[in-house]
Amino acid sequence: MKIISYNVNGIRAALKKGFVDWLKEEQPDVVCLQETKANKEQVELDEIEALGYQTFWFSAQKKGYSGVAIFTKIKPDQIIYGMGIEEYDFEGRMIRADFGDITLINSYFPSGTTGGPRQDFKEQYIIDIQEFVDELKKERPNIILCGDYNICHTDIDIHNPKKQQKTSGFLPHERQWVSDFIASGFIDSFRVFNQEPHNYSWWSYRAGSRPKNLGWRIDYQMVSEPLKDRMKSADILSQVVHSDHCPIVLEIE
């Protein structure tokens, strides 16, 4: 099972930049998209469906904002839309698909870069998603939580870590949350296969950040401990450019 997670920063914009050709070449079984910025009826899906994908969308109520989607060649046993918490579901923050004994959660974590209320919103979200996953694990222990977490975990996950200590996305308590989430029974799948620095999944559009590889690793596929021995590979596809993020890939039995 090849799973890709990708913040496309607007699916309609990505489609104009060759997204379908890339999808045809890459051939993932499941694609989890964040920041779709569109409702399903606003997107031309014929070419995607022709590749064998069913598409499931959970869009924000606000037009052109946030939103998540799952494209899958494997028929899911069920799709569940949202977390059941109104303020997050209003923004289209989570969609879940169950495939046999595996539960795949696709989430677009809030950004706190504007500070103030949005940072508070982000910090409440990470508390609530931990509680949500803790409860879900009781009945569905095999969980993959993929998406844009909007948090770098360690110094090797961000360029110039000393300068970023007071920046949302690299605040000490945000980083501690990632550590605590992992300690609760999850594995950062990429770091199982690659311990090297300078592997990033997002770059600012400013100052030529991407060509200089001045990036952040804020996209993850976190895998619950019972799935540890079923992981086959994980990678960051930094050469793929349809967005300010790039796709990340996990292969699992």
Residue 135 tokens read as 């409860």
Phi, psi of 140 (to 5 degrees): -130, 80
148 is catalytic: yes
In the set 134, 148, 155, 244, the catalytic residue is: 148
**Cα–Cα nearest to 28, from 234, 207, 238:** 234
Tokens 């289209």 correspond to 92
* Pair 85, 114: CB distance under 8 Å: no
What residues contact 145, with CB distance under 8 A and at least 6 apart?
105, 107, 129, 133, 186, 220, 221, 222
- The residues facing 96 across adjacent strands are 80, 105
The CA–CA distances, whole Å, from 87 to 13, 62, 110, 241 equal 26, 12, 11, 31
Kind of pairing, strands 215-216 and 219-224? unpaired
- Separation CA 237–CA 159 (nearest Å): 18
- Check residue 44 and report its DSSP letter: -
Helix axes 116-137, 172-183, angle to 10 degrees: 10
- Check residue 121 and report its DSSP letter: H
What residues contact 252, with CB distance under 8 A and at least 6 apart?
1, 3, 102, 144, 223, 227, 230, 231, 232
Residue 111 tokens read as 């950004």
Residues carrying an active site annotation? 148
